Chain A
Amino acid sequence: MPKVEVKNLYKIYGSKPLKALDMVKNGISKDELLGKTGNGIGINNANFVIEEGEIFVIMGLSGSGKSTIIRCLNRLIEPTAGEIIIDGENLCTCNKDKLLEIRRKKITMVFQHFALLPHRTVAENAAFGLEIQNMSKEQRKEKAYEALAMVGLKGYEESYPSELSGGMQQRVGLARALATDADILLMDEAFSALDPLIRKEMQDELMELQASMKKTIVFITHDLDEALKIGDRIAIMKEGVVVQVGTPEDILDNPADEYVSTFTKDVNRTKVLSAAAVMKKPDYVVTRKDGIHMAVRKMKDASISSIFVISKEKMLLGLVTIDSAIEAIKKGETELTSLLIQDFDRTSPDTSLEELLPIAIRTKYPIAVVDEQNKLLGIIVRVTVLAGIAGEEIENV
């Protein structure tokens, strides 16, 4: 069961939204509607699921409805129509008490401009959510201190927010959110107000924290690099419509439309694409018992100068070059084992293209993509790397 499920969600701003909703369902455009009734479209029929433990990034240009949609997830904004199912319960129909309960225990939020209380110390800020739940003073202090230690603010507990830098203030915001132990974390452009270096640091730290916390995180950004870096999956929004949801590689390789590709065209693909994304299927391989003749035939068929040798279980045994194979045939040998060489490069499937690039340029053999058990998953040759960078379809190479 997904953690959060958004079904046919609409948000119409302005008066008489239900009347405008019908027009929107009939396909009126955002500008047309604004001209006709004065209503604005915040969200237009959004459908997606968020899985437990993933970082779900929502991207889009300014005004595309990102903040609106994330605020519907804890009903800071009331949706006009549709359903939001969280852990099997419909958030949109639950009563006031239930809503408070969900906000206190299940969902929490981090804000772009930190939204701290200036008259309270860092620890009192971090304890805010717990205080709202009427937790005892000592208990919430203890939890607040713990949360602050987690985000690296040990020693600043009794300072005031105005004494901290922006990055540190946002850590307080994060600690405040973590202190409640809610399992869904909403972050609306949480790092956008920070300067680039601090921002990168915070991204790294969030990912580190996430590795141990396994929260479900909804993260809004309009920075594609940030989205690709931290997102397990990315949703792209345009004028209230969710135009595409997919993994970073999906979004880069198969942009759903023009709008999405304008987003992705400037991206540094080498940072995002992994070996797994550009590798070829290992179609031309031989097993040990195939023998030398078979190996030579396959190399000739594929017009390649070397071929990987695998075991029955697809474990990578080594590489045979065509020169050594022909030599061996002349000598009348049939066994492959003695010809195997090992001085080629191996890589794991999640290695980035950025790291593969220098290897691909240097090596004279293909690169083998293997998993932890040394099973051959794919092959990378220089052209596939270049094609991946250029964003070409790998199959055409």
Chain B
Amino acid sequence: MFRLPLGDYFDYLVHWLQDHGETVFDGIKDSGMWVIEHLEDILLFLPWWLLVIIFIALGYFLSGKKLAILSGLGLCLIYSLDLWEETIETLSLVFTATFLALIIGIPLGIWIAKNNTAEKIIQPILDFMQTMPAFVYLIPAVMFFGLGKMPGAIATIIFAMPPVVRLTNLGIRQVPEDVIEAAVSFGSTSDQMLIKVQLPLAMPTILTGINQTIMLSLSMVVISAMIGARGLGEVVLNGVTQMQIGKGFEGGIAVVIFAIILDRLTQSIGKSKTRKRKA
């Protein structure tokens, strides 16, 4: 029977990229690492309680007392588990990956919202990124960037970026036709349309996308740890592989706490925006 040697092609592509793209990958790696490491340094340089206070303040101003208390208690719990350094490592990686995912994802979403052909091409790629098991691109990522945080960040970006692209696209496409018509009829250029009409009206949807991207980034911490990204993921991973179930549980709880805090914080950004127009 004929067998399509798809795997061989992929193999070939990866090796070709490895041979010819070295400088590019090194460049990406160096700049990525620079951001991650500096962020880490800064966050670790701050005394832990200051960071806790910052999160409490964020919670208070974005949402209210409840979220402030939740943030404070959660972070204190993490500290008391003696997982502070790991948490900061994870946080730096997640922030960097999310930041890059948004920097690429939002413009991409805007582009495919305005261009139907681009949408048709990008949509299946996004499906691919979301459903292809992470391990499949983890290995090539290691081959390109070596072990460590960078391939972890790349894998995280690949997995976490699609929601913000999709929801940016959706948000912009959902802007009512007559509002678009109104803006055109008053003589808007397409830039004015984007900035004054489409993005503001799409903002709640885009914020949901950002929230999803952060959540998915967090869900990648264990997988990233497998290729040496350390942090909380490593705590969990060690717990599992070395049968230290209790230790693994602690790492898991720390991830969950962070996920909840970041989720509530980003959601309340969206709400405080919409509250203004309803009130």
Contacts and interface: CB of A to CB of B under 8 A. Distances in A.
A133 B197 CA distance: 15
A71 B185 CA distance: 9
A101 B276 CA distance: 34
Interface stretch (A41-49, A82-90, A112-120, A148-156): A112-120
Interface string B258-270: 0000000000000
B184 A76 contact: yes
B181 A115 contact: yes
Contacts of A115: 176, 178-179, 181-182
B187 A103 contact: yes
A133 B196 CA distance: 13
Nearest to A182: B186
A131 interface: yes
A113 B182 CA distance: 11
B192 interface: yes
Given A131-B196, A160-B277, A162-B278, A117 B187 contact: no
Which of B176, B186, B196, B278 has its CB near the most chain A CB atoms (within 10 A)?
B186
B186 A128 contact: yes
A111 B186 contact: no
A129 interface: yes
A104 B187 contact: yes
A100 B185 CA distance: 9
A104 B201 contact: no
Nearest to B203: A119
B178 A112 contact: yes
Contacts of A132: 183, 186-188, 192, 196
B184 A117 contact: no
A78 to B, nearest CB: 12
A162 B278 CA distance: 7
A101 B277 contact: no
A74 interface: yes
B189 interface: yes
Q: DSSP majority for the A interface?
A: mixed
Contact of A103 (B178, B184, B200, B279): B184
Contacts of B184: 76, 103
B278 A108 contact: no
Given A111-B181, A115-B178, A101 B186 contact: no
B185 A109 contact: yes
B278 A117 contact: no
A180 interface: yes
Given A103-B185, A104-B187, A111 B277 contact: no
Say which size band chain A's interface belongs to. Answer: 20 to 34
Contact of B185 (A74, A118, A119, A131): A74
Given A115-B179, A117-B197, A131-B196, A76 B187 contact: no
A252 to B, nearest CB: 33
Say which size band chain B's interface belongs to. Answer: 20 to 34
A101 B186 CA distance: 9
B186 A104 contact: yes
B78 to A, nearest CB: 37
A182 to B, nearest CB: 9
A104 B279 CA distance: 32
Contact of B201 (A100, A118, A128): A118
Contacts of A118: 201, 277
Nearest to A134: B192
Contacts of A133: 187
B178 A113 contact: yes
A103 B186 contact: yes
Interface in B232-262: none
B51 to A, nearest CB: 33
A119 B176 CA distance: 14
A160 B279 CA distance: 8
A74 B181 CA distance: 11
A111 B178 contact: yes
A225 B252 CA distance: 70
A117 B189 contact: no
Nearest to A113: B178
Nearest to A179: B186
A100 B189 contact: yes
Interface string A131-171: 11100000000000000000000000000101000000000
Contacts of A102: 187
A128 B182 CA distance: 10
B212 to A, nearest CB: 22
B185 A76 contact: yes
Nearest to A180: B186
Interface string B179-223: 101111111110010001100110100000000000000000000
B178 A100 contact: no
Contacts of A76: 181, 184-185
A176 B178 CA distance: 15
Contacts of B178: 111-113, 115
Given A113-B178, A115-B178, A100 B200 contact: no
A113 B200 CA distance: 19
19 contacts: A71-B181, A76-B181, A103-B184, A103-B186, A104-B187, A109-B182, A112-B178, A113-B176, A113-B178, A115-B178, A115-B179, A116-B182, A117-B196, A117-B201, A119-B201, A119-B203, A119-B273, A162-B277, A180-B186
10 shortest A-B CB distances, which residue pairs?
A104-B187, A103-B187, A115-B182, A115-B178, A129-B186, A109-B185, A100-B187, A115-B179, A119-B200, A111-B178
Given A74-B185, A107-B185, A186-B185, 18 more contacts: A100-B187, A102-B187, A103-B186, A103-B187, A104-B186, A108-B186, A115-B181, A115-B182, A116-B179, A116-B182, A117-B201, A118-B201, A118-B277, A119-B200, A128-B183, A129-B186, A129-B187, A132-B192
